[in-house]
Amino acid sequence: MADKKKKIRAEFKKNRTPRARKTDWTRRFSGETLDEDQIARGERISGKGELTRRRTVVGAETDTDAGLDVMPDVDPSECLTGRVLSVHGLSSTVAGDDGREYRCATRRILKTLLTEQRNVLAAGDRVAIRLSNAGSTDGVIERIEPRRNALSRTFRGRQHVLVSNIDQLIIVGSAAEPYLKPNLIDRFLLTAEKNRVRPIICINKVDLIDAADLQPLVGVYAQLGYDVLLLSATTGFGVERLRRRLAGVASVIYGQSGVGKSSLLNVVEAGLGLKVGEVSEDTQKGRHTTTAARLIPLVAGGYVIDTPGIRQFQLWDVIPEEVSGFYRDLRPFENLCAFPDCTHIHETDCAVKDAVADGQLDARRYESYCQVRESDDEGPPPRPQ
C-alpha cells in the first residue's frame, strides 16, 4: 500500500490570493447584471477561505537550505530530472539528464510560496521538469530538489541565492586594472567558510606588475591554508594549475567586474567564446559582460558556473557575533580575551588586539574583520510579507 501523501498548510505571498471582498458592485448594478437574490445578507470574517494567505499543499516539509519550507509533491513517472544552467527572468535553461537542453517556466506555486529569497531558482539547482509534450524542448519546473549548499548575499533586505550545489569557490581578483580588493576577497572567504566550500584565491593579470609585490599578501593567505594561484589569461601563466583544480568538481567563479573571469575560462576551456570587456581607464571598473550566472560543463569533467561581476558583497545570514569564527587567523586568540563576549574592537585586555600589536596577526586582516563586523551589525533582515 502506497504511503498517504502529506498535506501541509503553507504560507503564500500577498499577490497569491484574490481580493477578499468584491469591489465592483456599482459597475455590476449599472450594467443591470446585479442579482439581488445572490447578495449575501451578512459577511463572516474567519481565518479560512479567500481571507487567508495559507493554503494546503500536498508535499513535504524541507530544510531552509532547499529554498522553500514546503515542496509540492510530483509524479516522478511524468517528470524528467536535470540541472539549471541559467535563469533569465521568468524562464530558465535546464540541462536534462538525457543530454538535451530545455527552456522551462516555473510552476506558479513555487513562485508564490512565501520565501526570503529574491528568486526561488538558481544556477546549479537540481529540478524535476514536466515537458509540454513528447519530444518538446519546452517544459515546466515542477519541483526543486533540496540544495546541498548555496552561496548567497543580501540584496535589498532579501536573500539573493547566487549559485547552489557546488564544491569549491574560485575567488578571482586582478593585480591591476582594476586594482586588487583584499577586503572583498575576505568576504568571499567568509562565505566559503560558512558554507563549508573549498575556496581558491586566483590573482589574474600578474603580467601587468612585478609578481614580487604580491608576496606579502599571498603569504598571509598561504599561511592560513588557502590555495592561492597567480595567473595571467594573456600569457597563459598558471592556467594549467587552474585547469587541474577545476577538473571533475563543481565550481563557481566570483570576483568584481573586469578582473578577467570570462577570459580565464576561455583559456581553460577551448571553444567557449565567452564575451569579454574592457576596463575603464578613468574609474578602474570593469563593464558587465556576463549578465547572469551560467553553468558550463567541462570536457575534463565537472562544471564551472560563470557569474556576473560583483562590486559589493553584503553577507547573508551572518550575525556579528559569529564573524570572528570565520576568520582562521583570529580563532587561536579568541579564547584568550578577558571577556567571553569580546568584540575585539573596543575592549581592553583583548588578545586579538594584542596579537595585532605584536605582529602575530596581520593588521590588514584585522581591519577587514572590523569592517565586516561593523557593517553587518544591523542583524538579519526581517522576513518578507
User: Closest by alpha carbon to 64, among 366, 375, 316?
Assistant: 316
User: Closest by alpha carbon to 274, among 263, 258, 260?
Assistant: 263
pLDDT value at residue 376: 58
pLDDT value at residue 218: 95
pLDDT value at residue 385: 42
CA dist 142 and 74 (Å) reads 7
Residues 6+ apart with CB under 8 A from 106: 90, 92, 120, 121, 140, 141
User: Closest by alpha carbon to 184, among 351, 339, 6, 310?
Assistant: 310
Instruction: List the alpha helices (DSSP H) in 47-140.
Output: 108-112
pLDDT value at residue 258: 87
Q: Give me the half-sphere count of Cα atoms (radius 13 Å) on the Cβ side of residue 238.
A: 17
pLDDT value at residue 51: 46
pLDDT value at residue 108: 83
The fold adopted by the segment(s) 169-306 is: Rossmann fold (3.40.50)
How do residues 310-344 score in pLDDT, each as one tens digit? 877 889 889 999 999 999 999 999 999 999 999 99
The fold adopted by the segment(s) 64-147 is: OB fold (Dihydrolipoamide Acetyltransferase, E2P) (2.40.50)
- Give the right CATH number for 320-375 from 1.10.40.50, 3.40.50.970, 3.20.20.70, 1.10.580.10: 1.10.40.50
The segments of the chain whose pLDDT lies below 70 read 1-5, 8-25, 27-70, 114, 277-291, 376-385
Ranges of each domain in the chain: 64-147, 169-306, 320-375
Q: What is the pTM of this model?
A: 0.80
Question: Which grid cell sits at 153?
Answer: 548575499
pLDDT value at residue 229: 96
pLDDT value at residue 65: 56
How do residues 95-120 score in pLDDT, each as one tens digit? 999 999 999 999 887 877 767 777 88
Q: 240 burial class (0-12, 13-18, 19+ CB within 10 angstroms)?
A: exposed
